[in-house]
Amino acid sequence: MARFGSSPLAFPDFKGATRRLILINLGAYFVLLVATFASSSALRIAGSLVFDPHAFMHGALWQPITYSFVHFGIFGTLFELLSLWFLAGFLEAFHDANWVTSLYAVSVLGTAAAALVLYLVSSTLAPSLLTNVSPLFGCFGGIFGLLVAIGVLYGDTQFLMFFVIGIKARHMAIIYAIVAVAMLFGQERLYAFAQLGGALAGYAFVRMAPRRGFSFMFSESWYGLRNRYYRWKRRRAARKFEVYMRSQGRTVKFDGQGNRIDEDADDKKRWN
């Protein structure tokens, strides 16, 4: 974890996108935990929320989003949420909430996309690779994307691995990537390949995404499109008014923005 301020173990601020992501994941964990004790069908419902490429190809289109909110086991969930807190909190100190949220969402979707690609390729070329493969769950892909973003943008930042070993952010990201590559040769190949997909998505986001995130870009694009529509309506109304005034024996002119041109005022300026 990164060094914040004078203390290497200081927690980052719990605010903005970091707080929302933590609370949503924590709330989803407790909802599933309570539902498991209350109903025997809760595990079946949770099974429909994790990402299973086969189920996704047969209509479970919500799974690339919902799988990241499914958590099993208190210790694994605690580790994920603490990692999410440190990494998202660190990035939010330098970027706004929209940027951090967009990075996390792209990394989560990239993780699911990588798992789907491996499934499609393996089912065609090597079906044996899909034996004993478990569905994806948890926000590990989003966390890996955040870590890669820190490694790319703030690679010299000192982290404490396991609270003991000092290591730079870029080196930590490389170590995690090497471990994921090694896992490709084990039983967790889908998990490992998907994790690498989340890392690649995080890297692509850092290199290509707008500085203030996709949500800001889309909102700006929407407002720009809306303003262009209003300007077009103004020009069209101006042309109709010109035609109407000519039919009344009067001449009225408008400029390219739909603003009326006062020729009398121009004449007065020339003679004054």
Across 222-236, average pLDDT: 73
Q: Looking at the predicted structure, is the pLDDT value of residue 109 above 90?
A: yes
Q: Looking at the predicted structure, is the pLDDT value of residue 215 above 80?
A: no
Residues 157 and 239 in one domain: no
Evaluate whether residue 21 is within a structural domain: yes
Q: How far is CA 9 from each of CA 1, 21, 148, 200, rounded to the nearest angstrom?
A: 8, 21, 21, 28
Residues 96 and 174 in one domain: yes
Instruction: Report the CATH number that the domain containing residue 46 is assigned in CATH.
Output: 1.20.1540.10
Residues 249 and 228 in one domain: yes
Percent of the chain residues past pLDDT 90, beyond the cut: 27
The b/e string for 121-136 (b: 16+ C-beta within 10 A; e otherwise) is: ebeeeeeebeeebebb
Domain limit, last residue, from 169, 186, 212: 212
Q: Looking at the predicted structure, is the pLDDT value of residue 228 above 90?
A: no
Evaluate whether residue 48 is within a structural domain: yes
Say which residue, 265 or 68, is predicted with more confidence.
68
Residues 139 and 255 in one domain: no
Q: Which residues contact 141 (CB under 8 A, 6 or more apart)?
A: 68, 107, 108, 110, 111, 112, 194, 195, 197, 198, 201
Residues 152 and 250 in one domain: no
Q: Encode pLDDT of 157-185 as tens digits.
A: 887 665 667 788 888 888 888 888 888 77
Evaluate whether residue 218 is within a structural domain: no
Q: How confident is the model at residue 10 (pLDDT cuts 50, 70, 90)?
A: low
Across 198-203, average pLDDT: 92
Residues 131 and 243 in one domain: no
Evaluate whether residue 234 is within a structural domain: yes
Distance of CA 72 to the CA centre of its chain: 23
Residues 68 and 135 in one domain: yes
Evaluate whether residue 69 is within a structural domain: yes
Q: Looking at the predicted structure, is the pLDDT value of residue 129 above 70?
A: no
State the chain's mean pLDDT as an integer: 80
Evaluate whether residue 205 is within a structural domain: yes
Number of domains the chain is built from: 2
What integer pLDDT is reported at residue 264 of this predicted model? 56
Residues 103 and 230 in one domain: no
Residues 53 and 86 in one domain: yes
**Enclosing domain of residue 184:** 16-212
What integer pLDDT is reported at residue 175 of this predicted model? 86
Length of the chain counted residue by residue: 272
Distance of alpha carbon 218 from alpha carbon 196, whole angstroms: 27
Residues 81 and 204 in one domain: yes
Say which residue, 197 or 268, is predicted with more confidence.
197
Residues 256 and 147 in one domain: no
Evaluate whether residue 47 is within a structural domain: yes
Residues 154 and 234 in one domain: no
Q: How confident is the model at residue 3 (pLDDT cuts 50, 70, 90)?
A: very low
Evaluate whether residue 217 is within a structural domain: no
| Entry pTM | 0.72
Percent of the chain residues past pLDDT 70, beyond the cut: 80
